Amino acid sequence: MNNSIASVPFPKNEPIRSYEPNSEEKKSVLKTYNKLKQSNIEVPMWINGKSVKSSKTHNMSPPHNHKHSLGKYYLAEKKHVELAIKSALNAKEKWSNMPWEERAAIFLKAAELIAGPYRDKINAATMLAQSKTIFQAEVDAACELIDFLKFNIHSMQHIYSQQPKSDSGVWNRLTYRPLEGFVYAITPFNFTAISGNLPGSAAMMGNTVVWKPSDHQIFSAKIVIDVFKEAGLPDGVINAVYGDPEMITDVILKSKYFSGIHFTGSTTVFKDLWKKIGAKIDNFISYPRIVGETGGKDFIIAHRSAKIDELVTAIIRGGFEFQGQKCSAASRIYIPKSMSKKVFSKLKKQISTIKMGSPENFKNFMTAVIHENSFDKLSRVIKKVKKDRDAKILVGGGYNKSKGYFIEPTIITTSNPKYFTMEKELFGPIVTIYTFDDSKWDKVLNLVDETSEYALTGAIFCQDRYILEESVKKLENCAGNFYINDKCTGAVVGQQPFGGARGSGTNDKAGSYLNLLRWVSPRLIKEVFVPPRDYKYPFMG
Ligand code: NAD
């Protein structure tokens, strides 16, 4: 019996641990790091609650030490994807009928497990799999994932309590059904939190899910799965398959019960998925929900009234933390000529102090980029810039892949505001600066607006309130997350709901009620207590 209307715990953001020298938390996470480094694990697929192996495997290695093996994971064949779909569909009825408080309890427990016994493991695995420093791992794998889980559960309750009004004699009720069928979640390499959130948010709203993590995050995705298991997620609610994304997607889209996609990754892949879904629209029993958070070419624009030290810190942190591999990373910068000399000199000085290497060494601010393809692409960009006439390298420009995929923090300056590094997402530690005439502020605002296909994040540094007010208006459509006198990265769940428009995605704001609404299909129930007994209306009298 459940004769009560439960209230979920009010969410608070998870406090970030600082991992100071000689702290117990530092020792403890390093101990786990070293243990996981030698673990040589096998990661089977996770289908209907069971570990499933196949005949094909891939190796996993840390990007900062690519010759070292962390173990291997199993690749799906067509039959495994079909099994994952079947298992999601079989689990659906029981899961969607489970009282929402019970579902909430599972995900709240998952959050507490990450905050407590799994914290070191999920952080250490993220340091190894994605080469994050401890701070970047802590804000992602621990804090953001905990926040996603807790805030989403709170939003879930909020959504369920939204009800229509009822006139006298009538009772209108809205029920929030999960989508009919199953949801397909595809996650990127760069955030362990996203890997838990995309399948998790759809599942908490009563859906069952087939999840395909990125090949380059499977080592830490495994910890997410361990947490969900230990939290008591029933078999088949989330099913993880790994490997060839095109084959997996083709099998998924053959099912008429495909009801939605929860995607985060690059714009090209998302556009391709959208086209494939469109081409198969007659195949599905419903119009699938298409939710995608995609690429960015995020900007910082400085007015001559900006404070130089604040601007320089924002460029370095926003551009180079996690090697610039954040969708929100600052990568095109607009600064007025009057301050360029000072900004350049401070950037040079400060960047020369940046240490790069393994995340095991806490002095390192940067580590390696994710894989060889990314390394090769970024080093090609640097080679081209070195040859081009309209750009030059102000700082950095070095690269080395002998041990890990290391690219130096690199700043390019260009006289061409449409230079390709001002337009294209590079997803690495490369930042381009365009210097403008102080008197051309309005023109440069237009440039910011027109220069790339994306509209994810952007920041303005300015102390003049008139200019600020006008500029924020003019830049209205350039960014889904806009920052004033702050770097353009580091959105916090519950505080800065995250997502962008234009080529950056469907802007459904992960970690907020707006996103969760995409995973329900409301049903209105109207009940009339004393129905009319004569078809004639009074006006006919
Ligand atoms: P990616 O697009 O290469 O891969 C993302 C996921 O899509 C992976 O699981 C991958 O295996 C899968 N995939 C690749 N090709 C596919 C295909 N043809 N069909 C189906 N699935 C396919 O991206 P990535 O390198 O993992 O991540 C970086 C990208 O993600 C960047 O563009 C970044 O801006 C974006 N990103 C955006 C956000 C956001 O919130 N807007 C957050 C994180 C990352």
b vs e for 213-241, b when ≥16 Cβ sit within 10 Å of the residue's Cβ? bbbbbbbbbbbbbbbbeebebbbbbbbbb
Q: Is 293 one of the annotated active-site residues of the chain? A: yes
Query: Is 80 exceeded by the pLDDT of residue 247?
Result: yes
- What pLDDT, on the 0 to 100 scale, is given for residue 2? 76
Whether 327 is a known active-site residue: answer yes
Q: How far is the CA of 265 from the centre of ligand 1 (A)?
A: 2
Q: Is the CB of residue 288 less than 8 Å from the CB of residue 261?
A: yes
Ligand 1 centroid to residue 189 C-alpha, Å: 7
Q: Quick check: do 24-59+69-294+505-525 and 298-484 share a fold?
A: no
Model pLDDT, residue 355: 98
Ligand 1 pocket: which of 81, 139, 145, 190 to mutate (most atoms <8 Å of CB)? 190
Domain ranges for the chain: 24-59+69-294+505-525, 298-484
Q: What span, in angstroms and rounded, lies between the C-alpha atoms of 436 and 458?
A: 18
Per residue in 47-58, pLDDT tens? 999 999 999 999
Distances (CA, A) of 538 to 2, 171, 299, 530, 534: 45, 24, 65, 17, 10
**Interval 99-149: pLDDT, tens:** 999 999 999 999 999 999 999 999 999 999 999 999 999 999 999 999 999
Q: Which atom of ligand 1 is nearest to the CA of 276?
A: 19
Q: Which atom of ligand 1 is nearest to the CA of 327?
A: 34
10 Å CB burial of residue 265 (0-12, 13-18, 19+) is buried
Instruction: Give CA–CA dist 140/371, Å, rounded.
Output: 19
User: Which residue has the CA at smallest separation from atom 40 of ligand 1?
Assistant: 293
**Rounded distance from Cα 453 to ligand 1 centre (Å):** 17
Report the topology of domain 24-59+69-294+505-525: Aldehyde Dehydrogenase; Chain A, domain 1 (3.40.605)
**Pocket-testing residue among 211, 327, 373, 489, ligand 1, by greatest number of atoms within 8 A of Cβ:** 327
Alpha carbons 384 and 149: distance in angstroms, whole number = 43
Nearest to 363 by CA among 135, 66, 137, 35: 135
pLDDT tens-digit profile of 164-176? 999 999 999 999 9
Instruction: Determine the atom of ligand 1 nearest the C-alpha atom of 498.
Output: 40
Please give the Cα distance from 285 to 182 (Å, whole number): 11
Q: Round to the nearest angstrom and report the end-to-end CA distance of the chain.
A: 51
- Average confidence score pLDDT of the chain: 98
Q: Is 129 left (phi over 0), alpha (psi -120 to 50) or beta?
A: alpha
Q: Which residues on adjacent β-strands are paired with residue 42?
A: 72
Percent of the chain beyond pLDDT 70?
Answer: 100
Residue 332 CA to ligand 1 center (angstroms) comes to 21
pLDDT band for position 541 (cuts 50, 70, 90): confident
Contact residues of ligand 1, CB 6 A cut-off: 186-191, 194, 212, 214-215, 245-246, 249, 264-266, 269, 272-273, 293-296, 327, 425, 427, 456, 498, 504-505
Q: Whose CA is nearest to atom 26 of ligand 1?
A: 188
Two structure tokens written together for 455: 């509209």
From the list 143, 327, 462, 478, the catalytic residue is 327
For residues 430 and 412, the answer to whether their CB atoms sit within 8 Å is yes
Ligand 1 centroid, distance to 469 Cα (angstroms): 35
Q: 298-484 domain in CATH 3.40.309.10?
A: yes
Out of 217, 294, 374, mutate this one to test ligand 1's pocket (max ligand atoms within 8 Å of CB): namely: 294
**Concatenated DSSP letters of 427-476:** -SSEEEEEEE-GGGHHHHHHHHHHS-SEESEEEEE---HHHHHHHHHHTT
Report how far ligand 1's centroid is from the alpha carbon of 512 (Å): 21
What span, in angstroms and rounded, lies between the C-alpha atoms of 413 and 315? 13
What is the average per-residue pLDDT within 206-219? 98
426-447: average pLDDT: 98
pLDDT band at 352 (very low <50, low <70, confident <90, very high): very high
- Which of 266, 293, 425, 456 for mutating ligand 1's site (highest number of atoms within 8 Å of CB)? 266
pLDDT value at 217 more than 90? yes
Residue whose CA is at the smallest distance from ligand 1 atom 39 = 293
Supply the residue whose CA is at minimum distance from atom 30 of ligand 1. Answer: 265
Distance from residue 40's CA to the centre of ligand 1 (Å)? 26
Q: Flag whether pLDDT at 197 surpasses 80.
A: yes
Predicted local distance difference test score (pLDDT) of residue 1: 75
pLDDT at site 47:
98
